[in-house]
Amino acid sequence: QKEVEQNSGPLSVPEGAIASLNCTYSDRGSQSFFWYRQYSGKSPELIMFIYSNGDKEDGRFTAQLNKASQYVSLLIRDSQPSDSATYLCASNSGNTPLVFGKGTRLSVIA
Amino acid sequence: DAGITQSPRHKVTETGTPVTLRCHQTENHRYMYWYRQDPGHGLRLIHYSYGVKDTDKGEVSDGYSVSRSKTEDFLLTLESATSSQTSVYFCAIRSPGTGVVAGANVLTFGAGSRLTVL
């Protein structure tokens, strides 16, 4: 059973702080890793994708991948109240369907 | 939602009745997926399709069937709905990523269909 594990939270951070969201995966064959953001009552939307070890940055978001430790993380710098949402980690390999974690709820306190 | 629509958006039905949810895309993408989302369980794959008449099961396929008779439509059917199938159902299409997600196969989700089985 391929699994993606996330802490369900809630993770509360003050406005302007760095939010760190973590994810582990069980399938060593996983090649691609995704972070989706889901606002309450809305559908998930993709915000980051990473497939190589190391960091990938886009604006305030940085995705980090460590394949040896089977660990993926998402850092959000200068967190804003508008970042309050549930963040879903997902992985797959090749054409296999994405396997999602249960999500971490982030609350940014103004 | 980027060329993908789900219908109905809300439905209340009774145990034992059949229910069909429709997913329609205007993007002509080959891969389509049905997920359900429940508190404490996250998104779980029900069925997916990789072409017309080509479908496969996901991790929670029991009690569900699907059909894809044309590229644009992917139907999810609950033959005899049960209360355990009360959930939010999301359809998704897969497309090549661009920009920061270039190189990825990106899932774009529909707005969701909230189903309540009494």
Quote the CA–CA distance of A23 and A100 in Å, as a whole number.
10
Q: Do A32 and B105 touch (CB under 8 A)?
A: yes
Q: Average the pLDDT over A18-43 and give the result.
A: 94
Verify whether the Cβ–Cβ distance A43 to B43 is below 8 Å.
no
More confident residue, B2 or A29: A29
- pLDDT (tens digit, 9 = 90+) per residue, B74-99? 999 999 999 999 999 999 999 888 77
CB–CB of A100 and B43 under 8 A? yes
Structure-block tokens of residue A86: 């549930």
Output the six-digit token pair for B17.
């009745």
Region A60-79: mean pLDDT is: 96
pLDDT over 70 for what percent of chain A? 99
Q: Is A23 on the interface with B (CB under 8 A)?
A: no
- pLDDT of A60 reads 97
**pLDDT tens per residue, range B36-69:** 999 888 899 999 999 999 999 999 999 999 999 9
User: What's the whole-number mean pLDDT along residues B2-12?
Assistant: 93
pLDDT at B2: 63
Across the interface, whether the CB atoms of A46 and B101 are under 8 A apart is answered yes
Q: Could you tell me which chain B residue has the CA closest to the CA of A90?
A: B43
B105-to-B14, B29, B58 alpha-carbon distances in Å: 38, 11, 18
| Chain A to chain B Cβ contacts (< 8 Å) | 58
Contact between residue A32 and residue A51 where contact means Cβ atoms under 8 Å apart: yes
Instruction: Find the CB nearest B90 among A43, A58, A92.
Output: A43
Q: What is the mean pLDDT of residues A71-77?
A: 97
Interface membership of A3 toward B (CB under 8 Å): no
Which residues of B fall within a CB distance of 8 Å from A5?
A: none
**Is A103–B42 a contact, with Cβ atoms under 8 angstroms apart?**
yes
Say if residue B20's pLDDT is above 90.
Answer: yes
Give the separation between CA B12 and CA B20, rounded to whole angstroms: 12
pLDDT, tens digit (0-9, with 9 covering 90-100), for B109-118: 999 999 999 9
| Distance (Å) of CA A75 to CA A12, A54, A56 | 14, 13, 10
Flag if A102 and B58 touch (Cβ within 8 Å). Answer: no
Distance, in Å, from the CA atom of B87 to the CA atom of B118, rounded to the nearest integer, reads 12
